[in-house]
Structure 1
Amino acid sequence: MVLTLADIGFDAPRALLARYGLALERVPDGAPIPGSYWGDREAGIIGGVVYARADTPVHSLLHEAGHLIVLPPEQRAAVHTDATDSIPEEDAVCVLQGLLGDALPGVGRDRVWADMDTWGYTFRLGSARAYVEQDAHEAWTWLQAHGLVDAAGTLVIPA
């Protein structure tokens, strides 16, 4: 069973997203999630807002937020549901969502990676963890070039 926002609450994710200039809007239970690419309970994005319900998986929220975080603020306004068709950006977001998990109390990258595997992400080395640790060199370089991680690979969170 994957970790959901019902398990961790909305306050810490809302505060984390706000540091990146994003908003988190809670959608009522059972209501359709605006801007959700996958539908069902998966997070959605429109402009600078991430939409989620209590049953939304934390990894989904972090992935969709990651798509907005990697974009310059002036490009976020044009985003609706599908953030990119860029493979390098998608790869970077897959790494970033685990790092964002470390910034949430009680979550952490290991849980995010495990939930990604449970959800059905596929990587050539068989798991999200193996991808990030052994095969994501270009994604790490991309994140560093965009100022999202430092030279040591530590997440850079705006003040």
Structure 2
Amino acid sequence: MSLSSPPAPGAAILCLGDIAWEEAAALLARHGLRLNRVADGQPIPGSYWGEPEAGIIASDVYARADTPVHSMLHEACHLIVLPPERRAQVHTDATDSVPEEDATCYLQIVLAAQLPGVGSTRLMADMDAWGYTYRLGSTRAWFEQDAEDAKQWLTERGLLEA
């Protein structure tokens, strides 16, 4: 998996303002994270890609209404896959590890199914639109046919049930 740059402005990607903020915050809270609402037009702390992309600092995820849902989930999942001692040290960039990145991508798709109004199918389409690239050509193909190592990584760490 690799990332290119974000799509052109105006791409039809589901944003946090399109779903119930409380549902997203509750999902992250179940994993020991806090979703912090940033006011419209304000800088997003800890954003790796820049606004409107989500930011992370320790156990906090920062986002605005115009932050893509896939971005919020991706950054949250970076924190979820880390052991607590590493999570506490995170500011903006969570990992240099390919296995952790793959696990993050897999987990964000799984967690999207738990968000009303989102779902895994929509999230995978948004990931493709944003610029995630996989050798099989799409997020869905990777998830269904080439992500066994990511699934196993998450299962071994108790983040997914076998």
Matched AA of 1:109: S
Whether 1:57 aligns to 2:76 is no
1:42 and 2:53 correspond: yes
Partner of 1:117: 128
Task: Give 1:40's aligned amino acid.
Answer: E
The structure 1 segments of at least 4 consecutive aligned residues displaced by more than 4 Å after TM superposition are none
Alignment partners' CA distance in 2, 1:96 and 1:138 = 12
Partner in structure 1 of residue 6 of structure 2: none
TM-score w.r.t. structure 1 length?
0.93
* Structural RMSD (CA): 0.7
* Long gaps (5+) in structure 1: 152-159
Q: Letter of the aligned partner of 1:97 in structure 2?
A: Q
Among 73, 77, 89, the residue aligned to 2:88: 77
Q: Secondary structure at the match of 2:132?
A: coil
Instruction: Decide which moves more: 142-151 or 68-77.
Output: 68-77
What residue number does 1:146 align with?
157
Residue 15 (structure 1) aligned to one of 22, 26, 30: 26
SS at match of 1:80: coil
- Percent identity over the alignment? 67
Aligned twin of 1:105: 116
Displacement after TM superposition at 1:9 (Å): 2.7
* Alignment TM-score, normalising by the size of structure 2: 0.92
Instruction: Specify the alignment match of 1:155 in structure 2.
Output: none
Higher relative contact order (CA 8 A, sep 6+): 2
Listed one character per residue, the Cα deviations across residues 94-131 of structure 1 (whole Å, up to 9, x for unaligned) are 11101110111111100110000000000000100100
